[in-house]
Amino acid sequence: MKVMESAEDYLETILILSRTKEKVRSIDIVKQMNLSKPSVSVAMKKLRENGYIEMDSDGYITLNESGRNIAEKIYEKHIFISEWLVDLGVSKDTALADACRIEHVLSDESFDAIKKKYSGRKCKDCPGCG
């Protein structure tokens, strides 16, 4: 199932926040993504309805298995691509911005080929590189 770019961004943000916070709430996503509360609320409802996240009675958000798989795949692409671009001489700010766009359109096949070509290189934060 193809997931919309915005949903991938939300899932990736939840993953990143969950690595530094014990519990993730919608307000954390609002602050991290610099979005409005209503926008995040609508997105969380859609992610919950599509089975990517769970939200408990206190409003704490967790990724379920399918949400986590998507988030980790997108995050891996983001980290790898941004570090790869920096290694090629692109400024860090530009590399991060470009990686945010590329991560959504780059196929798994192309990404796997790029990783294979640069297999000796390990990203410091990349879940796929360990």
**CATH number attached to the domain at 5-67:** 1.10.10.10
Residue 128, pLDDT > 70, answer: no
pLDDT of residue 130: 47
SS (HEC) of the chain: CCCCHHHHHHHHHHHHHHHHCCCECHHHHHHHHCCCHHHHHHHHHHHHHCCCEEECCCCCEEECHHHHHHHHHHHHHHHHHHHHHHHCCCCHHHHHHHHHHHHHHCCHHHHHHHHHHCCCCCCCCCCCCC
- Selected from 1.10.10.10, 1.10.60.10, 3.90.550.10, 3.40.50.2300, the CATH number assigned to the domain covering 69-117 reads 1.10.60.10
pLDDT digits (tens, 9 = 90+) for 58-100: 999 999 999 999 999 999 999 999 999 999 999 999 999 999 9
Which residues does 24 contact at the CB level (< 8 Å), separation at least 6?
14, 17, 18, 60, 61, 62
The CATH 1.10.60.10 domain(s) of the chain lie at 69-117
Say if CB 115 and CB 80 are below 8 A apart. yes
Numbered ranges of CATH 1.10.10.10 in the chain: 5-67
Structure confidence by residue, pLDDT tens digits, 13-43: 999 999 999 999 999 999 999 999 999 999 9
